[in-house]
Amino acid sequence: MSKSRVDASVLAAPVGFFDSGVGGLSVMQAARRILPHEDLVYFADSAHCPYGSKGGDFVRQRALSISRFLLERGAKAVVVACNSASEAALEFLRLTFPDLEIVGVEPAVKVAQRLSKNKKIGVLGTALTLKGRRFSRLLENFSCGMEVYTQPVAGLVELIEEGRFDSPRTSAILKKNLRPLLDKGIDTLVLGCTHYPLIKETIGAICGPRVEVIDTGEPVARQLWRRLVSTGRLNPGPGEGQSEYFSSGAAAAVTPVMRKIMADPALVVHQSPV
Ligand code: DGL
């Protein structure tokens, strides 16, 4: 879309975000800081969470249905705030909606390459992300001269969905999955799933002060800002942007967890079927 053709209704249109559940809120938090005037619409696919243990075709279909829903809400851009869905569906969504601005996420291997001093990094993610072609291409392009250790994690996303950010079970799963990476002497840990920044403190406490823990919320929000600016779609304000929350799961279960994460009193609307 050229800058000259953008009208006021597009500037005021919301930006859509989606994830298998509450994880993408770690990206939306950063977007709220960087884009204070934008209306944001979040969709948590809680009824189909987790994505990471499912097949690519299933996740692509979910991504398609949810993107259509966000477009119906008038979204001028969609952020695939999920590594697993970005792995499975980003290219497909861009082909399906060529006029829509679509921003994806990926594990922050490039940032880790810059920050790591001993050039040993670990990546925690879902099986779907770490087995994927997009992730292998990322490693081919950006892991030169580094030792990269990957660890697919099972069972953690479900606990985060229940709001159990620092329960004994959460710590036990983390310790089991971090041990092999810490034993390799990593000095940088990449959080390759948007749920994990929500428990960054618990992860940091296990890793200790010598390991830098990095996530992608800020860089993705900055990329979104750049895309909105370069296509002339950034809402210049002065009004304060509003946030809306939808979920394919039960609103009563999802609302308290979202409220734990977001500063605003998130009121989730159940949306079914999408
Ligand atoms: N938050 C997601 C990700 O970044 C999805 C995790 C899952 O549903 O398994 O991969």
Task: Given CATH 3.40.50.1860, say whether it is the number of domain 109-215.
Answer: yes
For residue 119, pLDDT over 60 is answered with yes
pLDDT digits (tens, 9 = 90+) for 12-21: 899 999 999 9
CA separation for the pair 199, 207 (Å, rounded): 12
Question: Is the CB of 194 within 6 Å of ligand 1?
Answer: yes
Scan for tokens 């509003």, then name that residue: 242
Structural tokens at position 202: 């618990």
Question: Is the CB of 52 within 6 Å of ligand 1?
Answer: yes
Q: 238: CA distance to ligand 1 center in Å?
A: 34
pLDDT digits (tens, 9 = 90+) for 133-175: 999 999 999 988 999 999 999 999 999 999 999 999 999 999 9
Task: Return the closest-CA partner of residue 86 out of 48, 121, 42, 130.
Answer: 130
CA separation for the pair 255, 37 (Å, rounded): 24
120 in Cβ contact with 146 (< 8 Å): yes
Q: Where are the alpha helices (DSSP H) in the chain?
A: 8-12, 25-34, 56-72, 83-96, 109-115, 127-130, 133-142, 156-161, 168-183, 200-207, 217-230, 251-261
Looking at the chain, the domain(s) classified CATH 3.40.50.1860 span 3-105+218-270, 109-215
22 in Cβ contact with 44 (< 8 Å): yes
pLDDT digits (tens, 9 = 90+) for 203-246: 999 999 999 999 999 999 999 999 999 999 999 989 999 999 99
CA separation for the pair 212, 210 (Å, rounded): 7
CA separation for the pair 134, 82 (Å, rounded): 13
CATH architecture type of domain 3-105+218-270: 3-Layer(aba) Sandwich (3.40)
The identity of residue 208, as a single letter, is: G
Catalytic residue, candidates 49, 144, 193, 207: 193
Neighbours of 254 (CB within 10 A): 26
- Averaged pLDDT for residues 247-256: 94
Task: Give me the chain's average pLDDT, please.
Answer: 94
- Is 82 in the active site? yes
What 3-state class would DSSP assign to 111? helix
- Averaged pLDDT for residues 38-50: 97
Structural tokens at position 150: 């990957």
Question: Is the CB of 49 within 6 Å of ligand 1?
Answer: yes
For residue 103, pLDDT over 80 is answered with yes
Structural tokens at position 238: 């002065």
Question: Is the CB of 126 within 6 Å of ligand 1?
Answer: yes
The identity of residue 143, as a single letter, is: S
Q: 239: CA distance to ligand 1 center in Å?
A: 32
CA separation for the pair 41, 88 (Å, rounded): 22
